[in-house]
């Protein structure tokens, strides 16, 4: 019952980014060692003896990709005996989001081969990483409806159309713009700035801001965020 357990502990992160009006992206790294050398995988690695799981994820992300993360939560722990072909390694997976601002991959690191992939054009992934990714994608889809995490995929100030498009892209649904805006604003957690963004053609858009503090206040008094459309 003790002494001879031989299991390694690793963390892996599924980090999503959103390119305005386009698609979801996922952060992957090219493996430099066997197994699956040269293949693509989620950023991650073994946990050090004296660091917390969260610290491990953040360290690995920094080392392997240099990307700064805006939202991070634990996803699920994958532990089938054969998920790593060599040793037994269980993986505590994390789910992360980054704002477009923080997309930049720094090249000053070990495993230089970090890259954003369109979620619809993924390469084959090492280990059970496709399963982990699917789990994260599922989590993103469902959380979007009952927690205001979408804002961590947008810059601090954003035009309303970005928010609309984000929801439509992730939920893979058409959403009525008027109803969406009405409901979003009704929560009272989005503020209008007095800035205006002019890009491309068409009428310039007002910029809005998510008021995180307001949201936290409301949450205390059994306030419920929910966005659900047919």
Partner DNA sequence: GCAAAAGTGTTATGAGTACACCCATGG
Partner DNA sequence: CCATGGGTGTACTCATAACACTTTTGC
Structural Rg of the chain based on CA atoms:
20
- Within 85-114, the residues that bind its own copies by CB under 8 A are 88, 90, 92
Instruction: Name which of its own copies, DNA, none residue 173 binds, using a CB cut-off of 5 to 8 Å depending on partner kind.
Output: none
Tokens of 73: 């939560």
Reference 83, options 26, 130, 30; nearest CA is 130
Distances (CA, A) of 177 to 106, 142, 156, 217, 229: 37, 20, 21, 27, 11
Burial of 91-125, coded b for 16+ CB within 10 Å and e otherwise, reads bbbbbbbbbeeeeebeeeeebbbbebbebeeeeeb
**Residue recorded with tokens 């893979």:** 172
Site string for DNA, 162-201 (x = CB under 7 A): --------------xxxx-xxx--------------x-xx
Contact pick of 21, 46, 104, 216 for its own copies (by CB under 8 A) = 46
Contact pick of 206, 212, 216, 217 for DNA (by CB under 7 A) = 206
Contact pick of 71, 76, 103, 229 for its own copies (by CB under 8 A) = 76
Q: Which is nearer to its own copies, 32 or 123 (by Cβ)?
A: 32
Q: Which is nearer to DNA, 105 or 168 (by Cβ)?
A: 168
Q: How far is CA 186 from the centre of its chain?
A: 26
Which residues here bind its own copies, judged by CB under 8 A? Answer: 1-2, 4-9, 45-53, 74, 76-77, 79-81, 88, 90, 92
Positions that interact with DNA (CB under 7 A): 159-161, 176-179, 181-183, 198, 200-206, 226, 228-230
């Amino acid at each position: 019952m003790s002494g001879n357990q031989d299991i390694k502990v690793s963390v892996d992160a599924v980090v999503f980014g959103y390119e305005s009006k386009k698609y979801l992206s996922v952060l992957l790294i090219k493996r430099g060692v066997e197994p699956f050398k040269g293949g693509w995988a989620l950023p991650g690695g073994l946990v050090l003896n004296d660091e917390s799981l969260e610290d491990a994820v953040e360290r690995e992300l920094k080392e392997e990709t240099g990307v700064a993360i805006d939202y991070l939560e634990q996803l699920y722990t994958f532990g089938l005996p054969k998920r790593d072909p060599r040793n037994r390694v269980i993986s505590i997976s994390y789910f992360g989001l980054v704002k477009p601002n923080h997309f930049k991959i720094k090249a000053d690191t070990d495993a230089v081969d970090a890259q954003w992939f369109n979620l619809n054009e993924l390469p084959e992934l090492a280990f059970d990483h496709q399963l982990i990714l699917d789990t994260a994608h599922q989590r993103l889809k469902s959380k979007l409806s009952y927690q205001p995490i979408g804002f961590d995929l947008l810059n601090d100030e954003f035009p309303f159309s970005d928010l609309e498009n984000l929801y439509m892209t992730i939920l893979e649904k058409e959403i009525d713009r008027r109803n969406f805006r009405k409901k979003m604003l009704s929560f009272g957690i989005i503020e209008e700035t007095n800035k205006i963004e002019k890009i491309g053609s068409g009428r310039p858009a007002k910029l809005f801001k998510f008021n995180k503090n307001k949201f936290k206040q409301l949450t205390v008094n059994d306030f419920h965020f929910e966005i659900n459309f047919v």
